[in-house]
């Protein structure tokens, strides 16, 4: 792993994106500072108490994101983007409240607004944050039935598969679809107003899709745990 001098890195992005190792002027191995939460803090970033990160501070060995031990600075990796504790806390916050302002998010993770915005933009550009949206209540919209449908195809030819993919892509009732291993080929999540409406959808539309051999439906009786954010 290569190192740079204490005065040669000022920007957070250069360190965060590449995990460049840092040594102080005396040549001793030393990680950058950390904030009151134990997260890495780089020059130009402020923690909740307004302290700025500096180079050359020697901290005891501490775990980094993904369980990688941190000794003399950052470990070089081949990943497109590396996430530290603050990045992960930001991801949890935007999953919980996608409408929160940058100022509010910054306060929650212990940063000022500018470095918080940089982190969000970096994760958006890397595709980690794929988008923002609202969570709608299906029963209040009259969609009181949710079904998980196993679909088996008569043929797995490229033409059949592509036609099936295109067809379910045009069906708004199909919220999600997954290609599966095992005995079934696909698993669909479908919503409908009631059992009668689902029956119409299944017999008149789903079973008539190109290449569909068989379907098996299971209906949600009660939501025990609603969809939650990813564990980051």
Domain count across the chain: 2
Q: Which residue has the tokens 């669909």?
A: 188
How many C-beta neighbours within 10 Å does residue 45 have?
Answer: 25
47 Cβ partners below 8 Å, 6+ apart?
Answer: 35, 36, 37, 41, 53, 110, 111
Domain end call among 69, 93, 125: 125
Per-residue pLDDT for 8 more than 90? no
Range of the domain at 150: 139-219
What's 153's domain CATH number? Answer: 3.30.70.920
The HSE-up count of residue 207 (CA atoms within 13 Å, CB side) is 11
pTM: 0.64
Per-residue pLDDT for 3 more than 80? no
232 Cβ partners below 8 Å, 6+ apart?
Answer: 83, 88, 91, 92, 95
pLDDT tens string 94-150: 999 999 999 999 999 999 999 999 999 999 999 999 999 999 999 999 999 999 999
What's 118's domain CATH number? Answer: 1.10.10.10
How far apart CA 46 and CA 44 sit, in angstroms, is 7
Per-residue pLDDT for 33 more than 80? no
What's the pLDDT at 199?
97
> What is the mean predicted confidence (pLDDT) over 146-167?
96
How far apart CA 151 and CA 223 sit, in angstroms, is 23
């Amino acid at each position: 792993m290569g190192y740079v001098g204490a005065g040669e890195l000022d920007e957070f992005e250069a360190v965060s994106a590449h995990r460049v190792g840092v040594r102080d002027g005396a040549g001793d191995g030393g990680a950058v500072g950390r904030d009151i939460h134990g997260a890495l803090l780089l020059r130009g970033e402020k923690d909740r108490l307004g302290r700025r990160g500096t180079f050359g501070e020697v901290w005891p060995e501490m775990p980094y994101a993904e369980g990688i031990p941190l000794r003399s600075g950052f470990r070089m990796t081949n990943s497109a983007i590396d996430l530290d504790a603050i990045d992960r806390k930001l991801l949890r916050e935007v999953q919980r409240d996608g409408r929160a302002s940058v100022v509010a998010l910054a306060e929650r993770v212990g940063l000022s607004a500018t470095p918080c915005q940089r982190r969000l933009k970096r994760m958006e550009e890397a595709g980690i944050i794929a988008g923002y949206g609202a969570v709608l209540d299906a029963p209040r919209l009259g969609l009181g039935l949710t079904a998980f449908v196993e679909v088996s195809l008569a043929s797995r030819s490229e033409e059949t598969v592509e036609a099936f993919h295109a067809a379910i892509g045009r069906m708004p009732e199909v919220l999600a679809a997954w290609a599966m291993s095992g005995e079934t080929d696909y698993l669909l999540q479908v919503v409908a107003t009631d059992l009668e409406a689902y029956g119409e959808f299944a017999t008149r539309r789903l079973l008539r899709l190109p290449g569909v051999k068989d379907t098996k439906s299971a209906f949600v009786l009660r939501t025990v745990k609603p969809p939650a954010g990813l564990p980051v």
